[in-house]
C-alpha cells in the first residue's frame, strides 16, 4: 500500500511519485525500522515460513471476525492533521517524511494502525503550494493520485470507482485487487491539502462494518 504525492500537477500531465510503501508491513508483524523489516522478510521467505505465518493469521482473522460483535467507538483526533476518525478504537502510529519533488520538498504525514499481520488502516496527508493547486485541476489531481495507487500496488481491476465529497470538497472512492491484496481508498483535496484514507487486507476485502466505521467517521476539523 503506498502513499503518493503529485509531483507536477499540470492539467493532463501529472506525474506521481511514490512516497512510501507499507505493503510489506501489512504482511509482517510490526517492526521498528524498515531495514530490520526487510531483513526479517528475506530470512523468513528463504526459510519458507512467511506463507505459513500469513495463512495462520488469516485463519485467526476468520475466527476473530466471527467472534467480533462490536467495534470500539473511541475517536482519534489529529490537531495538526485537522481530522478525526475511528481507527477501530486504536491509536495509530505516526510517521512523517520529507520528499524531494519538482515542486520542492513536500512533507507527508502518515497514521498507521496494523490490526493484524494481514490487515491495516492508514491515513496520510500532504500540503501543496497553493499556487500549484490553484493553477491545476482538482479532478486531474485526484485522478493522478488514484493512478499512482493503482500502478504502485499492481491493481489489476477495480470493483468500485465513484466520486465522493466531504464538506463540499471533491474526492474519489475506489477499491480493487492486486494479487491477493484487496485495497480500498478514499482521497480528498481540501484546499491545498490531499488526504488519503486507505484500508488493505490480504485474501479478502476488509469487512464492510469496519470499512463503514473507518471511512464513515472520518471528519475534517478546524
Q: Calculate mean pLDDT across residues 13-34.
A: 29
Q: Over 90: is that where the pLDDT of 31 sits?
A: no
For residue 45, give the H/E element and its range.
helix 34-47
> 178-206 burial by CB neighbour count: b if 16+ within 10 A, else e?
beebbbbbbbbbbeebbbbbbbbbbeebb
For residue 159, give the H/E element and its range.
strand 157-166
Domain that holds residue 128: 2-220
What percent of the chain shows pLDDT beyond 70?
69
Question: What is the predicted pLDDT for the residue at 93?
Answer: 92
The total of structural domains in the chain comes to 1
pLDDT band of 133, cuts 50, 70, 90 = confident
Question: What is the predicted pLDDT for the residue at 40?
Answer: 47
What gap in Å lies between CA 83 and CA 104, rounded to an integer? Answer: 25
Q: Are 124 and 3 in contact (CB under 8 A)?
A: yes
Question: What is the predicted pLDDT for the residue at 4?
Answer: 63
pLDDT, one tens digit per residue, over 144-189 is 888 888 888 888 999 999 999 999 999 999 999 999 999 999 999 9
Q: What is the CATH number of the domain that holds 63?
A: 3.40.1000.10
Question: What is the predicted pLDDT for the residue at 182?
Answer: 93
Region of poorest pLDDT, from 8-17, 19-28, 76-85, 108-117:
19-28
Question: Pick from 35, 23, 43, 55: which is nearest to 179 by CA?
Answer: 23
Q: Calculate mean pLDDT across residues 80-99.
A: 94
Q: Calculate mean pLDDT across residues 135-140.
A: 87
Amino acid at each position: 500500500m503506498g502513499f503518493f504525492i503529485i509531483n507536477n500537477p499540470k492539467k493532463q500531465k501529472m506525474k506521481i511519485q511514490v512516497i512510501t510503501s507499507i505493503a510489506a508491513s501489512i504482511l509482517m508483524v510490526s517492526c521498528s525500522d524498515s531495514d530490520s523489516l526487510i531483513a526479517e522478510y528475506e530470512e523468513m521467505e528463504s526459510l519458507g515460513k512467511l506463507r505459513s505465518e500469513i495463512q495462520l493469521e488469516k485463519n485467526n482473522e476468520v475466527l476473530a471476525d466471527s467472534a467480533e460483535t462490536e467495534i470500539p467507538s473511541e475517536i482519534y483526533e489529529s490537531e495538526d492533521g485537522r481530522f478525526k476518525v475511528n481507527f477501530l478504537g486504536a491509536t495509530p502510529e505516526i510517521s512523517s517524511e520529507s520528499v524531494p519533488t519538482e515542486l520542492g520538498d513536500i512533507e507527508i504525514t502518515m497514521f498507521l494502525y496494523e490490526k493484524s499481520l494481514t490487515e491495516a488502516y492508514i491515513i496520510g496527508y500532504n500540503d501543496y503550494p497553493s499556487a500549484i493547486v490553484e493553477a491545476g485541476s482538482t479532478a486531474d489531481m485526484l485522478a493522478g493520485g488514484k493512478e499512482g495507487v493503482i500502478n504502485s500496488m499492481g491493481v489489476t481491476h477495480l470493483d468500485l470507482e465513484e466520486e465522493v465529497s466531504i464538506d463540499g470538497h471533491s474526492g474519489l472512492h475506489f477499491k480493487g485487487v492486486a494479487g491477493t491484496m484487496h485495497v480500498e481508498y478514499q482521497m480528498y483535496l481540501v484546499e491545498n491539502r490531499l488526504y488519503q484514507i486507505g484500508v488493505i487486507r490480504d485474501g479478502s476485502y476488509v469487512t464492510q462494518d469496519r470499512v463503514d466505521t473507518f471511512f464513515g467517521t472520518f471528519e475534517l476539523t478546524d
